[in-house]
Amino acid sequence: MKFIKNVIKLSVILILVLSFSSITNSSEKNYYKDLITDWSRIFPDKNRNAAGPKFFKYIIDKDITYKDFVEYNKLYCAVSGSLIDPNSEPDFIFVNEKETKKKICGSYYKCCVPCSCDIMKYSEVQQMKYEFKDGVKKFFVFTIKNPCDKIDFPTRVNKNYFCDGKKINKKQVYDLNGRIVIGLLHNGKSCKKDEIDFVKTHNITGRFCEFRNNTPLENLEAGMGDIFIKLAR
């Protein structure tokens, strides 16, 4: 009899645990699925080349919490505009702050190794403040200067996504003090010396990026090649 009671008790506990797990999982958002579902709305002509800014604008225009905002921003590459596997690990990098030129460290989710090099060299970060459903938050974002009057604007990029004539197209991308926001620097903060040393001596962000960033533009093949660089330099 005691054995039967124990079995019943364990069964009840197991059912409660499974029910709680089911409720928890069902309440979690599928951020990646959202981006896949809305792909054709974000990119009507299916051209996502260097169009990370389109993802950022799409995400920040949503009525969401800051946590949602952060999670969505882990799933696209700010340099290439391609989606990123949800299980990808970010690179730890630094980028110069626009006003102070101080190095800001943080995590960058990329589609391929060369994109980390490109974003470190050709973007700058700015601190941004925005009100989400759960309140006002501050964070660092990658930005590039207005590319709309470039003579060599890359032909493989949809210029209409970025530009309204020579002005930034604020309906399509996010304008922060006259610069285009291309993505989020996760956990951005002022760098410590040992963090700078870590980035500079790392096999990817140090050695490989030094090689890539000293390669002539016409010889770049990996990553987005010269597309993002022509857009951002």
The proportion of the chain whose per-residue pLDDT surpasses 90, expressed as a percent, equals: 75
**For 126-131, what is the mean pLDDT?**
97
The proportion of the chain whose per-residue pLDDT surpasses 70, expressed as a percent, equals: 85
- The residues, ordered by sequence, that sit 6+ positions from 103 with a Cβ below 8 Å of its Cβ are 94, 95, 96, 97, 190, 191, 196
Interval 169-179: pLDDT, tens:
999 999 999 99
User: Are the beta carbons of 229 and 79 closer than 8 angstroms?
Assistant: no
Interval 149-167: pLDDT, tens:
999 899 899 999 999 999 9
Place of tokens 């930005």: 143
Interval 17-65: pLDDT, tens:
333 333 333 335 899 999 999 999 999 999 999 999 999 999 999 999 9
Place of tokens 């004539």: 165
Note the pTM of the prediction, 2 decimals. Answer: 0.85
**Residue from 85, 67, 81 nearest 29 by CA:** 67
Which token pair is 194?
A: 């040992």
